[in-house]
Amino acid sequence: MYERGHFINGRATPGVSGRFSDIMDPTKGAVQGRAALASAKEVDEAVSSALGAFPVWSAINPQRRARVMFKFKELLEKDLDNLARMISSEHGKVLDDARGDVQRGLEVIEFACGIPHLQKGEYTESAGTGIDVYSMRQPLGVGVGITPFNFPAMIPMWMFGVAIACGNTFVCKPSERDPSAPLRLAELMLEAGAPEGVLNVVNGDKEAVDALIAHPGVSAVSFVGSSDIAQSIYTACAAQGKRVQAFGGAKNHLIVLPDADLENAANQLIGGAFGSAGERCMATPVAAPVGDETADRLIDLLKPRIEKLKVGHPFDDDSDVGPLVSRQHLERVRRYIDMGVEEGAELVIDGREMKLQGHEYGFYLGGSLFDRVTPDMTSYKDEIFGPVLQVVRAPDFDAAVKLPSDHQYGNGVSIFTRNGAAAREFAARVNVGMVGVNIPIPVPLSYYSFGGWKRSGFGDTNQHGPEGVRFWTKVKTVTQRWPQDVLESSYAMPVME
């Protein structure tokens, strides 16, 4: 049994609130540790630490901040396997997937190493007679990241990597379900040369979240989680004048046109739908084949692949998928499978009764496949967030475009086809924030930006990439003139001549 506290002002800090949350071993269904839950007082200590570090850190020139990010990148690469094992042991995802979690976060750190170029302003000489105009991007102050359980390394780095590189200081509130990796990231940032207080981590529940949102010292909040909470956080922060980006749920579709390479589509769909046991906001839990013939052929290809899916211990190199994160979530996913059956969908493969020998109390669930799901079903409308693939048959191309476009979520969508014109039209028309063409999980690279539409994203600015730099900075514009002679007074609105 181990205990995880906080990381405040450059030091590991035990919790003092007296409240704790269990850290489960998903493979056994047993408690392996506990995370301290921060009080409002502890949150204030973390924010105060970040506020104290801000004047020094923001005054360091961009090249030196970049050197810290380069060193942090180096330390991450050395510690990658250790971080992956932390993630797998607390989350349940297999080691390869956990390594990918760290790697995709590390790529944003690589992007942030270019901050001397990324944070440059603009300059116009002689915008008017003897007048020059220039702009500069300056840090906001203290940023906050509230991150989910499913990517305990990647999403914190998506947030604090760009924020800190821009000269902000940061408080991360990770999921209390798998807190070890975020705490380790804070240790590595300190080791990389960031001053004490630049990156703080507080574990906690709603009390900590509410305290962070309400704290007057916080300038900006980035959140990833459920849509209802995202909307609530967006509303609360906007009402206080804080900058906010809040990303919610998803129900990503994979459209399969009749001309697609169906073997390839099936292979990619399996990974997109069942990787990380479906606990990804960019998973592909809905397949929308166009035409009954395409649907029948696709299902024939999917069935043996799902039946051969190896659900096992996350440290087993042969495992394709590990357990779900908690018993509560396991039961939630099972209820959605029950609901799909009650709503009249055809359950082709039932993964509910899967048991792993020697780990009967673990949070394991086999892959499930539904056919003939319809858009009016609640199980289709909601995000299941588990190893469940639903097939919604589309009669034609227009109907296939309409499915993700009309859905309440608009995070990601993919189309599989050999027809470039069809893919181009689909990408232009579909009402979704991120689009993949013959790619099952269309997460953009670090030098582009991540963000969904509709109830998948609240706020005007996306994560990482150039949008991340814009989110974590504010623009100051200077208009200057150095006259040699005394100028006459003028009461008219100045214009540039």
Q: pLDDT by residue (tens digit) across 245-279?
A: 999 999 999 999 999 999 999 999 999 999 999 99
Q: What is the pLDDT of residues 45-76, one digit of tens each?
A: 999 999 999 999 999 999 999 999 999 999 99
Determine contact, residues 247/463, Cβ cutoff 8 Å: yes
Question: Is pLDDT of 99 > 70?
Answer: yes
Contacts (Cβ under 8 Å, ≥6 apart) of 180: 4, 23, 86, 87, 89, 90, 152
Whether this model's pTM surpasses 0.85 = yes
Q: What is the pLDDT of residues 166-220, one digit of tens each?
A: 999 999 999 999 999 999 999 999 999 999 999 999 999 999 999 999 999 999 9
Element (H, E) at 230: helix 227-239
Give the whole-angstrom CA distance, residue 486 versus residue 120. 33
**What is the reported pLDDT for 357?**
87
Phi, psi of 47 (to 5 degrees): -65, -40
Contacts (Cβ under 8 Å, ≥6 apart) of 214: 236, 240
**What is the reported pLDDT for 70?**
98
Residues acting as catalytic residues: 281
402-416 mean pLDDT: 98
Contacts (Cβ under 8 Å, ≥6 apart) of 18: none
Q: What is the pLDDT of residues 356-394, one digit of tens each?
A: 888 999 999 999 999 999 999 999 999 999 999 999 999
Helix, strand or coil for residue 109? helix
pLDDT band per the 50, 70, 90 thresholds, residue 497:
low
Percent of the chain with pLDDT over 70: 100
Q: What is the pLDDT of residues 298-351, one digit of tens each?
A: 999 999 999 999 999 999 999 999 999 999 999 999 999 999 999 999 999 999
**What is the reported pLDDT for 417?**
98
Give the whole-angstrom CA distance, residue 294 versus residue 56. 61
Question: Is pLDDT of 489 > 90?
Answer: no
Question: Is pLDDT of 452 > 80?
Answer: yes
What residues form DSSP beta bridges with 476? 136
- Please provide the average confidence, as pLDDT, over all residues in the chain: 96
Determine contact, residues 214/229, Cβ cutoff 8 Å: no
Domains and CATH numbers, the chain: 2-248+456-478 (3.40.605.10), 253-437 (3.40.309.10)
What helix, strand, coil percent values describe the chain, rounded to 5?
40, 25, 40
